[in-house]
Amino acid sequence: MENKAPVVFRTTGSTLLYPVSEFLRMPLDQVNFVVCQLFALMSAFWFRCYLSPNKDRKNIRHVVATTLGTLFGIFCFGWYSLHFFILVSVCYVIMVKAGVDNIHRFSLVTALGYLSICQISRVYIFDYGLLSTDFSGPLMIITQKITALAFQVHDGIGRKAEELTPDQRRLSIKEKPSLIEYLSYHLNFLSILAGPFSNYKDYISFIEGNDISMKLLEIQTKQKQYERLTIPSPTGPVIRKLVICGVSVFLFLTLAKSFPVAHMLNEQSMSKTSFLSRVCYFYIAIQAGKPKYYFAWTIADAVHNAAGYGFSGIDDKGNFRWDLVSNLNIWNIETATSFKMYIDNWNIQTAGWLKRICYDRAPYYPTALTFVLSAVWHGVYPGYYFTFITAIPITMAARAVRNNIRHHFLVSQMMKTMYDIMTWVFTQFAVSYTVMPFILLAMEPTIMYYKYMYFHFHIISILVLILLPIKKNPHSIQYHSFHIHVKEKYRTRRIQ
């Protein structure tokens, strides 16, 4: 009987849990990540219950949050965690020394430049290899925070209030952060491993204990039916999110191994299977891989909530909402009937960062510039760029279909239901087709995938754009006119 070579599970961090990874047959880097997030969850409950905010504990909360985050970073990534501290230190010097007119530019170039250098060296120079959880993930979140904070300081100190949009005015910062505030915001244990990105003002309000009370006061002021509101407990939302995490882990461990992409992506398998079989297999493989992201983002959300961070208000039914830092809406993703609806509910905080940093500020071509920024931020693998480029014609085609055809199906509920079912099927397979290069990463397997899939969604999208006229619904025209009006108003002003 032939003996199989043992599988070696790699990590750049601690090897303390190597026996656990061998027992579970689970990569060591993933084991380190999960254990740290579970420890972060317990720490978050302790942080909320025994280190509750008051005027004397603000700095203590900052120090504890930063210390725990630093330890988690070192445990998971070893000496690679030095990149976090180097980038944060350099950008704090920029924050302190640079003038408010240039602070956002210097911070953006420095953070994105350092991130890009790390990604290039990791992939192409040092042949770091591919781990499911590596230091580039946290570095991407830190880059978001550095750039967002710099722009918000620039808005608050370097621009006039009437020049800002309501959202920019709400998030603007009138005073540069202290060192401990800066470190805590970027390196806190709540978000050091998996994010998500959150705004500086929201984080500081959480540390100081003003976030929930201010939102409740705002609700009572705007909605007179709420005369007195008690401080909500996050326990219920945390439990629900942990249940989602458990289901996600179960689905990932059972499905991902059963439907590996590599099983089908080879010349022999591709040539022996029909086109329909390939489409269905790759769709299932993409679905099987999604629970990994559901777990990572949902447990990160639960950690924030357990610490008392993430309260966002009250919904239409009078229920307390804890989705301020939520990064996805699973129900809306799985029931999406349009490409836009799918994207809007996936990686929500990153989409908000791109909008505030680039789209809302670009004097020309905001969509193109936002695409460029997103591509640079994600990394240097060709698969990322194939995904973003493929998404452009598919999104445009889906919009053309909606604006030209949808109103014909609104004559009855049955017709609308039929339209929703058809667009749901289209959306699910279109997303699967689009994101596959994001999974494959390299150029050679991506080209093989496209070749054996006959570039079908590329061709369909181009044909739709050729055959259907470009039409906009009244709401789109109204929004576009408003957008043009704002652009014209500030066209002659110096680019901020």
Q: Are 158 and 101 in contact (CB under 8 A)?
A: yes
* Per-residue CA distances from 386 to 250, 263, 378, 380, 458 (Å): 31, 22, 12, 11, 12
Catalytic residue check, 263 = no
Q: How far apart are CA 304 and CA 323, in angstroms?
A: 10
Q: Are 350 and 140 in contact (CB under 8 A)?
A: no
CA–CA–CA angle 415, 418, 419 (5° rounding): 90
* Burial letters 13-47, b for 16+ CB under 10 A, else e: bbeebeeebeeeebbbbbbbbbbbbebbbebbbeb
Q: How far apart are CA 301 and CA 328, in angstroms?
A: 10
Residue type, 239: I
CA–CA–CA angle 113, 293, 402 (5° rounding): 90
Q: Are 309 and 201 in contact (CB under 8 A)?
A: no
Catalytic residue check, 186 = no
Residue for token digits 């969604």?
Answer: 457
Q: Are 22 and 9 in contact (CB under 8 A)?
A: yes
* Burial letters 103-122, b for 16+ CB under 10 A, else e: bbbbbbebbbebbeebbeeb
User: What residues contact 343, with CB distance under 8 A and at least 6 apart?
Assistant: 351
Q: Which residue in 62, 154, 304, 378 is the catalytic one?
A: 378
Which token pair is 211? 């976030």
Segment holding 284, helix H or strand E: helix 275-306
Q: How far apart are CA 294 and CA 36, in angstroms?
A: 17
- Dihedral angle at the C-alpha atoms of 94, 99, 101, 103, nearest 10 degrees? 10
Angle of the 136-158 helix axis to the 179-187 helix axis, nearest 10: 140
Which token pair is 175? 């005073």
User: What residues contact 373, with CB distance under 8 A and at least 6 apart?
Assistant: 354, 357, 358
Which token pair is 17? 């849990």
Q: How far apart are CA 178 and CA 275, in angstroms?
A: 59
Q: Which residue in 347, 407, 458, 480 is the catalytic one?
A: 347
Angle of the 366-378 helix axis to the 103-120 helix axis, nearest 10: 50
Q: How far apart are CA 461 and CA 349, in angstroms?
A: 28
Q: How far apart are CA 413 and CA 479, in angstroms?
A: 28
Q: Which residues are the active-site residues?
A: 347, 378
